[in-house]
Amino acid sequence: MTTGTPAAEAGGRAPRRLAPEEVRTLFLFESLDADQLTWLAEQGRVERRDAGGLVYAEGDPAECFFVLLDGTVRLCRTVHGDQVEINRTAQRGVYGGATQAYLGDDRLYRNSMWALTDAEFFVLPAEKFAHAVRSWFPMAMHLLEGMFVGMRDTQTLVGERERLLALGSLSAGLTHELNNPASAAVRATSSLQERIAGMRHKLAMIADGRIDGRRLHGLVALQEEAVERVAKARPLSPMETSDAEDELTDWLDDQGLTAGWELAPILVSGGLDIDWLDRVRAELSAEELEPAVRWLTYTVETELLMREIADAATRISNLVGAAKQYSQLDRAPYQVVDVHELLDATLVMFRVKSAGVRVVKEYDRSLPSIPAYAAELNQVWSNLIDNALGAIGDAGTLTVRTGRLDDQLIVEIADTGPGIPEEIRPRIFEPFFTTKPVGEGTGLGLDISYRIVVNKHHGDVRVSSVPGNTVFRVLLPISPEEPPAG
């Protein structure tokens, strides 16, 4: 589609034009003088687009400047092959297209505009629009050029730094979380090697005739039972554990076993008690008891160590799964998601930073899954949780709550910090506004979060705050309109 050539001209008819006074009704031109309005009326034309039609396409030559006269439009940007809606409006006089032609570098359209309803536009060729701005407002041109270039460079640098800092913080937390189970697995593996060597030694003692072969079958059966008891062992309280270990130590000492205090904690952890050991004693002679009990203890400890390794591997797998859920690797940008899974994955990323903070999850599990840009919602949760943890400090409560209001899903991030002063509350979503000390915040987190929720998901972000209870409330439509393919 060629946006620079109106359909009327292609059909041989003169395009419809606005009268100068009609041009003045557009807020962009309302302060111009009569000669300027006349010039615009002569240079511009009126074009129509049908509902669902493309007004101009991102990446095409930026030939025209469009001003909306009537209808509803939306702007989209392509991100990794997916069209992301950045705005929609029906406000008369809004504009798009070659908006930066006067800077001389607006050669391509930077976004796409779609007509959601039948729409009508006042259209100026890009070179005419650029000439008007440069010749009519020379001082403003210098200011705009300086401001535009400066803001563009600042946003690029600050945005990159913000992402690197966030990535570094989350990576450090994840590395710490992975290190704990990985270290536990390494320690357990080393201990397991020693215990297996001990089992081989005790087995050699059993095999050389110290235990009657006729009793060996019964001992093996007791070994299998010990393995089963380890799998079913009931967790004991510290007091129960201490009492059980004392009882077993006394029993082992009474039977003449050396260093019974070393064996008792292992046997108690495996769910073995005095009644079970009495059965072992009944199967063996006094000389056979100690090597048999030590062999069974090695069996129990081996099972416990293998469970520890399995638990560590499971924790590592869960952490990797949470990281993938958080980053949305190998997943479509727009998909049906369970917000609870996204929230849990984000909380895992902040587990180290939230150490010492009481984290409360109040989830309404009856909520349906919703279509959303999952990775970007995770960015919203990250910004809100990070701010909440910063407000809480070393001690306090972070509450993550979900619920429903009519046809909207609600996610609340609440903290017990000092609150947001009423005089600055209207500004917290402004770009670069921050209450943190110089060098500690960029002021982009809430601005980015607001644009993701409101512009991309057609939801809303609200905040209420008093000392001890600040709540950010994100509202997302449960059944939003699907974005167009491609």
Entry pTM:
0.45
Length of the chain: 486
- CA within 13 Å, CB half, 312: 18
**Nearest in space to 67 (alpha carbons), one of 113, 105, 111, 34:** 113
- Distance between CA 254 and CA 475 in Å, rounded? 68
Residue with tokens 């495996």: 270
- Distance between CA 322 and CA 316 in Å, rounded? 10
- Distance between CA 429 and CA 432 in Å, rounded? 9
Residue with tokens 């536009």: 121
Number of C-beta neighbours around residue 483 at 10 A: 17
Digits of tens for pLDDT over the chain (486 positions)? 334 444 444 445 667 899 999 999 999 999 999 999 999 999 999 999 999 999 999 889 999 999 999 999 999 887 656 677 888 899 999 999 988 888 775 578 988 999 999 999 999 999 999 899 888 987 776 676 666 666 666 655 555 555 555 555 556 556 666 666 777 677 777 777 676 766 666 666 555 655 565 666 677 788 888 888 888 888 888 888 899 899 999 999 988 888 889 899 988 888 888 988 888 888 877 877 888 888 888 888 888 888 778 777 776 766 666 666 665 555 567 788 899 999 988 888 787 777 789 999 999 999 999 998 888 888 889 889 988 998 898 889 999 999 999 889 999 999 999 998 888 877 777 765 565 544 444 445 688 788 888 888 888 999 999 999 999 999 999 986 554 333
Burial class (CB in 10 A: 0-12, 13-18, 19+), 143: exposed
Determine the pLDDT at residue 27. 92
- Distance between CA 76 and CA 483 in Å, rounded? 10
Alpha carbon 80 to chain centroid distance? 18
Q: Do 48 and 110 contact (CB within 8 A), yes or no?
A: no
Q: Do 341 and 325 contact (CB within 8 A), yes or no?
A: yes
- For 44, 54, 66, 263, the CA distances from 141, given in Å and listed in that order, are 22, 31, 20, 85
